[in-house]
Amino acid sequence: MATILFLSCSPRGADAISSRFGREVVDRLQQRERDAAVIHRDLSATPPSPASRAFVAAVVDRVDEEAAFAESEQLIKELEQADIVVLATPMHNFSVPALLKAWVDQIVRIRRTFASTPSGKEGLLRDRPVYVVISSGGWFTGPSPSGALPQPDFLRPYLRTIFKTIGILQVHFLASEGTTRGDDVLALALAQARRALDALMP
């Protein structure tokens, strides 16, 4: 039986545009994998801890690792268990929201999810598909409909690099852009994201 990890991280919780479209992606996956189990981790409901002094000491000096890594271990095990990941995130200041950054700092861990080798970092997790659903007030994949230049995008390259670091290469992005520009623009954005989803999962 396949396991889907649904990670959502908007401070708006289940009402968020990203969370709602992420749920659609999960539903689509469940239609394909009829008996798939879904683990929903809502980072707004249970925020991951920011890297603490004890966590840093465990990473750097290997002090009291078991206690310091308890939360990290739980989040990594959840990810390891998943055959497919759906990550729903808003764009915050051209990048990921703080809640998602905290999760990243918990799961990207030397000697556990990546190894440091003479030729660089090597991912230690098995590859699996990750569907990243992004919701943004403006446009970043290309110019806005009125022709304004796209915003800087640190979100997609960042998440691609993070997942590659731990061994996950199959990362797909589905963006809903222009979400703060009125209901009509939002409806168009969601229609476009659904078409992209149809193309990914015909």
Ligand X SMILES: Cc1cc2nc3c(=O)[nH]c(=O)nc-3n(C[C@H](O)[C@H](O)[C@H](O)COP(=O)(O)O)c2cc1C
E strand segments, 27-82: 37-42
Q: Rounded to an integer, what distance in angstroms lies between the CA atom of residue 105 and that of residue 88?
A: 17
**Should residue 179 be labelled a site residue for ligand X when binding is judged by CB under 6 A?**
yes
Q: How many residues bind ligand X (CB under 6 A)?
A: 17
Q: Rounded to an integer, what distance in angstroms lies between the CA atom of residue 26 and that of residue 42?
A: 14
Nearer to ligand X, 171 or 189 (CB): 189
- Residues 25/200, Cβ–Cβ less than 8 Å: no
Stretch that binds ligand X, among 67-75, 79-87, 91-99, 141-149 (CB under 6 A): 91-99
Nearer to ligand X, 59 or 100 (CB): 100
Nearer to ligand X, 89 or 113 (CB): 89
Sheet holding 171-177, edge to edge: 37-42, 3-8, 84-90, 130-136, 171-177
Residues 109-148 close enough to bind ligand X by CB under 6 A: 135-138
Q: Which of 52, 84, 55, 79 is nearest to 67 (CA)?
A: 55
Q: Rounded to an integer, what distance in angstroms lies between the CA atom of residue 134 and that of residue 191?
A: 14
**Should residue 180 be labelled a site residue for ligand X when binding is judged by CB under 6 A?**
yes
**Should residue 87 be labelled a site residue for ligand X when binding is judged by CB under 6 A?**
no
Q: To 5 degrees, how large is the angle CA 103–CA 105–CA 109?
A: 120
State which of residues 106, 113, 151, 165 lies at the interface with ligand X (CB under 6 A). 151
Determine how many CB atoms are found less than 10 A away from the CB of residue 148: 10
Site string for ligand X, 3-22 (x = CB under 6 A): -------x-x---xxx----
State which of residues 52, 74, 93, 170 lies at the interface with ligand X (CB under 6 A). 93
State which of residues 28, 39, 73, 94 lies at the interface with ligand X (CB under 6 A). 94
Q: How far is the CB of 178 from ligand X (least distance, A)?
A: 8
Residues composing the chain: 202
Q: Which residues bind ligand X (CB under 6 A)?
A: 10, 12, 16-18, 90-94, 135-138, 151, 179-180
